[in-house]
Structure 1
């Protein structure tokens, strides 16, 4: 679990985060959503230690990251997995070598043990046949799965995903969402997903934080969104008439006014 308490962050005279408090729950997909410039990326960078908040606390299992020693922060970083927006694979390395990279950096396992662990996580993301391929030889969806395998190879307690469906077709996006959800539950990981993808919000949004102009405007689950009366949230998620009609129909179904198909 990660708890944010009254996080404030400014750059010069411009305030980016205004008193943000939220709880990211273990074993759940915690989504941070909002338009460009809403502050969600800055908030995430504060959570992983790339930016230091001006005020507030960031608690990892009740321990304030901002008060940790350098050794304690190093240990914490080894418990964090990262799935980058563009996957960020090393082009000159094979899939297997990419996944082994964190093990080479941080583990004391033998080469044979590192290779076995890499094989385990590649099998988990359904890439049994891709070990010796290079990133240029695999599809965008496969690259994302390699990125997920690399992110979980050290058995992290926390998983951060930056726009995991960026550049993917809808069907592949759904497969990536399903995989992230399965891994989150299976390994009881605290997963934080920064996304613009409304399919992700509705499919895997166990806990959602909606941000607007540096402020937390709404917090709840994907089921709560259907009944939300927050105008800013509704304008962001149900921007088109089609989605507005879909929300209305879903509300009617939930209230029993329309039979469910």
Structure 2
């Protein structure tokens, strides 16, 4: 689990993060959503240590990451996998070489074992016969899957994903969302996803944090969103008539779902 306690971050006189506290749960897809400028990207960068907080704490399994020096942070950093928005693959390396890069840097396994591990994760992200191809020779969706394979090759406890569906068509986006969710559940990873994609929110949002003007405005699941009366959240998620119709349809589906009603306590007051 990752816990944020009273995180503040400013650039000059502009305060970007304003006393943000939240928990990112293991085995769940934790989403950070919000409009551009809401602070979600800065929040993620503070969580992985790319930016230093002005005050507050980032705790990894109750260990204060913000209070550690570089040497103390190293074990946690090695337990972190990262999928960047543009995949950030090395153009001069093959798919296999890109995925093997973290193993070459941090693993003392033999070349044979490293290559075996690369093949395991490429199979896991459903990439066949792509080992010797270069990034310029594969599609955008395949690049994302290579990025995911590289992010999980060291068996991370924590996976950070920045806009996984950026530049992808809707069908490929669904594939990427499902892959991230499956990996999270199968390996009990604490996954944190920074996203604008509303399909990701509605289909993959086990735990969602909505940021608004540097503050945590709302926190809950994709089921909770359907029944939330937070006006700022509703204006952001269900801005169009299309998404408003989807909200009403999802409400009706959930009311018909006996298991959901049992989970919710069987009371309309929780809805």
TMscore range, shorter length: over 0.9
Q: Which runs of 4+ in 1 moved over 4 A?
A: none
Partner in structure 2 of residue 187 of structure 1: 187
Structure-1 separation of matches of 2:250 and 2:188: 30
**Cα deviation, residue 67, structure 1:** 1.5
**Cα deviation, residue 74, structure 1:** 1.3
Structure-2 separation of matches of 1:139 and 1:159: 23
Superposition TM-score, scaled by structure 2 size: 0.93
1:94 aligns with 2:90: no
Superposition TM-score, scaled by structure 1 size: 0.96
**Cα deviation, residue 252, structure 1:** 3.6
Root-mean-square deviation (Å): 1.1
**Cα deviation, residue 96, structure 1:** 0.1
**Cα deviation, residue 76, structure 1:** 1.0
- Secondary structure of residue in 1 paired with 2:246: helix
Match runs of 1:25-36 below 5 Å: 25-36=25-36
**Cα deviation, residue 241, structure 1:** 1.1
Alignment size in residue pairs: 257
- Residue-by-residue CA offset, 1:203-252 (whole Å, 9 max, x unaligned): 11000000010010000000000000000000001010121122123324
- Secondary structure of residue in 2 paired with 1:77: helix
- Secondary structure of residue in 1 paired with 2:145: helix
1:13 aligns with 2:21: no
**Cα deviation, residue 113, structure 1:** 1.1
Match runs of 1:165-184 below 5 Å: 165-184=165-184
Gaps of 5+ in 1: 257-261
Gaps of 5+ in 2: 257-271
Match runs of 1:134-145 below 5 Å: 134-145=134-145
Partner in structure 2 of residue 244 of structure 1: 244
Partner in structure 2 of residue 259 of structure 1: none
1:131 aligns with 2:137: no
